Structure 1
Amino acid sequence: MDSDDFGLFGPGSVTWQVHEEPILIVAGLRSLYLQALHPQAMAGVAQNSSYRSDAWGRLVRTSEYVETVVWGSTAQAEAAGRRVRARHARLRGRDLSTAEEFRVDQPDLLRWVHVTEVESFVTTARRAGLALTDAEVDGYYTEQRRAAALVGLDPATVPGTAAEIAEYYRQVRGELRMTREAAETALFLTAPPIPWRLSLPARLGLSLGPPRWAYFGIAGTAISLLPAWARRMYGGLGLPTTAWSADLSVRALRVVLGALPRHLRESSHRQAARERLARLTAAAG
């Protein structure tokens, strides 16, 4: 069976350890706030996606891709990567400051998206209380070069340690801007439309209550976990916070999310990976 392997990472990897954390829902949102600060990356998304009209659908598709890469078999991960590369190869964007056309799959843009994602994942998990050594954090970044290769990046050009990530951010910050599109996207991410099943009570004149406020809490925590330089670029968006209060919020959210029943906090890909691990372990024994 082509699905009978541990995938790109497997048991014992730092990647599996990090991605077991349901708190990564906050990390995904954090990465989107960061990505919006890159004008070309933002233009590529705004001009080629339906994120405003289908925000939740796009979120589900992105989550599905990440889950496949992390928990799927090698064949499943590689197939998902081929689909993403094929789609990106057809897309073009137009730089709003120069009017020049650009490919959305150019390495600089792919690298920005990759780095903001993986840095958000491991930073959020660690600040939420996941015990990782500095060596394990470096190991996570090194492992994630395999994911970077799936979207078409040369792994050798992708930061593979915490120090390299920090240096990458230092170098790229001169390209980042708080554009109108970034501000509009950030506001949209902070208060997106609620899916119709959750918005129905409001349409009936009932209190929306928990879903909206729960999302506000997640979005506010994601903003508060941004690097200090990114929070400064966003100015007054979100409530003022300190590193201590941000850590307190994300730790509390981790406890709440971790208490959810397994079928609510685990994807089908992770469940399949667990079954595959049990099957392969039994076969090896």
Structure 2
Amino acid sequence: MAAPLTASLRLPIRRWIQRAFPPTPGGIDYDQPRGDPGLFPPDGVTWRVHADFPGMLSGGLCALMLQTLHPAALAGVWDHSNFRTDLVGRLRRTTDFVAGTTYAPRAEAERLVARVRRIHARVRGTTEDGRPYSADDPALLTWVHVTEAFGFLRGYRRFAGPLSPADGDRYYDESRRVAEALGARDVPRSEAEVEDYFRHVQPQLACTARSRTVLSVLEAMALPVPLPGLSRDLFLGAGAALLPGWAEQRLGRTPRQALHASVAAAGLAAVAPLFRAALDDGPAPRARRRVAPG
């Protein structure tokens, strides 16, 4: 019974994903040149972790919630993005960048990095309390990278399966190369270093009125798919379930919200195999075919 059911749901779920995250116009060629592995080793942990759609989307939303706590990161979003009207577009662009730098051939991945560096060079201003910020600040780039890598790794472990401590360390050590290419410095390269990093950075974090505004926009966004509210609540709740305890406290999350997140995470875990079955022609499978012998 399970196989026919999975087969019958594969096409609707694929359409759901394509509508929510359509290919970028002009696209990224994941098929050529043959044999080009790109920035990461095909047998590495980054290819494995970033191939899991449920873990990546929930992990990305976890990262976005964490990023609202950093005054400089929040100011950049507040001053230089249209998050109020196109938060879904921001998520799509992040998805394209992560997929491209992970699975595209090297020249294409480097082009994406160079493009983001040009954008970052124009993003600067002052925080709510008047401190200057710039998107190409190495410390700020490190914060954005660590929150994303933390969310992706935690999402994989929650919704795809176990990953050994050694592989967790290897993931952080591999994935930092994109952050460093963007200009980040002193990027944590192991799970222990990430824990130390979060302890070090917490005094700089705060949940402000701006944080709550961005979170309210996130909680009200409408994905361009059937049952948009249910889809949003499922993934957003699952993303919240990945938050570390210290972040839940700073965000002021209530026991009711924690219960909702737990239920959403259980729901996503139940349907995650259907998403994986539907994604047999995404960037990861295409990249694996590109590097396959013969």
TM-score (norm 1): 0.84
Determine whether 1:189 maps to 2:203: no
Change (3 A) 1:79 1:40: same
Determine whether 1:227 maps to 2:244: yes
Query: How far apart in 2 are the matches of 1:183 and 1:35?
Result: 12
SS at match of 2:125: strand
Percent of pairs identical after alignment? 35
Query: 22, 27, 33: which is aligned to 2:59?
Result: 27
Q: Is the 8 A contact 1:258 1:265 kept in 2?
A: no
For residue 207 of structure 2, what is the amino acid of its counterpart?
A: M
| Residue aligning to 1:140 | 171
Determine whether 1:51 maps to 2:80: no
| Residue aligning to 1:152 | 183
Structure 2: state its 5+ residue gaps.
1-31
Deviations 1:113-155 (A, max 9, x none): 000000110012112242211000000000012111221224x
Q: Is the 8 A contact 1:29 1:219 kept in 2?
A: yes
Query: How far apart in 1 are the matches of 2:161 and 2:205?
Result: 30
SS at match of 1:178: coil
Structure 1: state its 5+ residue gaps.
199-209
Aligned length: 262
SS at match of 1:53: helix
Deviations 1:161-186 (A, max 9, x none): 00000000000000000111111111
CA apart distance, 1:112: 0.5
Change (3 A) 1:119 1:260: closer
Determine whether 1:239 maps to 2:271: no
Query: How far apart in 1 are the matches of 2:174 and 2:222?
Result: 35
Query: How far apart in 2 are the matches of 1:72 and 1:258?
Result: 25
The CA RMSD measured in Å over matched residues stands at 2.3
Change (3 A) 1:94 1:273: same
Of 28-37 and 69-78, deviating more is: 69-78
| Residue aligning to 2:17 | none
TM-score (norm 2): 0.82
For residue 85 of structure 1, what is the amino acid of its counterpart?
A: R
| Residue aligning to 1:258 | 273
Q: Is the 8 A contact 1:190 1:220 kept in 2?
A: no
Query: How far apart in 2 are the matches of 1:237 and 1:187?
Result: 15
| Residue aligning to 1:170 | 199
